[in-house]
Structure 1
């Protein structure tokens, strides 16, 4: 099975594609789609839509994991990320995909085994699980790969619960 992990954003959208078979993960590709700062938001959203559509058309994922939004301090940034996430969900829905959302703590728990793990721990475990020679970069891509790993580990429980 091919899993696409997506770390939503409006300036940088991390993605990670992995194969998950026999409880083993194999990296396919990872990286980030970007939009230019200063570009009008509606044009950035169009670009995000096209980038996600291209990723789906290129890799034909069977399942998709996307990060649930977490608002901390800057509500303006949070609203912009929420708009981008909405466009990502639209693009996935139009491709017939049903993404599963995970909170940052769920991802940390699934990948590291500790819900309050540090970013560096997450990146190291992602590298180890995928047998990469170096830490995945940018950070958004590492987060997207961790989302895909989380989904691989969690998907049977999700199906069992009927989610």
Structure 2
């Protein structure tokens, strides 16, 4: 069984979800939202980093999944989101945890069946797939969905976006 930490990064709140999976069956371990204080961005990034390290200490994940940055409302928002994502990635790689990356569309397609799924559809599918008594909070559901996506794909979706030997990005398609 593999323990997977899913992370839905944000500059105001960061969702996390931890599952155990053998590739076919998934078991819920934990999820939640790291609510970031309304302070300077460097302090918020430190909160993400330290909070994820606490989660890593508790669950000892074998792998992590971080949702890729999507186009935000503004360049400033995109930069803040990218920095939050960076803090999450560094928290994992500094602990020798392999990090996979998926787009929101890939995650939605893998969990709900359509890349245009709503937040509510993601919450309901995560609830069903993990046999939870209630739907998790939005950001936690997104993080759990990322972990489920990675478990179901066996890492194959993440490999599609890796650079080849010449450093060029390989392109893949979801079917």
Q: TM-score, normalised by structure 1?
A: 0.92
Structure with greater proportional helix content: 1
- Deviations along 1:55-97, whole A, 9 cap, x unmatched? 1111100111110000132221211111111111111111001
Unaligned runs of 5+ in 2: 163-175
Aligned pairs, number: 161
Q: Give the root-mean-square deviation of aligned CA atoms.
A: 1.8
Any unmatched runs of 5+ in structure 1?
none
Q: CA deviation at 1:7?
A: 0.2
**Which whole-Å CA distance do the structure 1 matches of 2:125 and 2:142 have between them?**
11
Aligned mates of 1:159, 1:146 — CA distance in 2: 15
Matches within 5 A, 1:50-65: 50-65=50-65
**1:12-161 matched pairs, under 5 angstroms:** 12-21=13-22, 23-37=24-38, 39-137=39-137, 139-155=138-154, 157-158=156-157
TM-score by length of 2: 0.86
Contact 2:69/2:103, CA 8 A, preserved across alignment: yes
The Cα offsets for residues 85-111 of structure 1, whole Å up to 9 and x where unpaired, read as 111111111100121000011001100
Higher mean alpha-carbon deviation, 151-160 vs 107-116, is at 151-160
SS at match of 1:47: helix
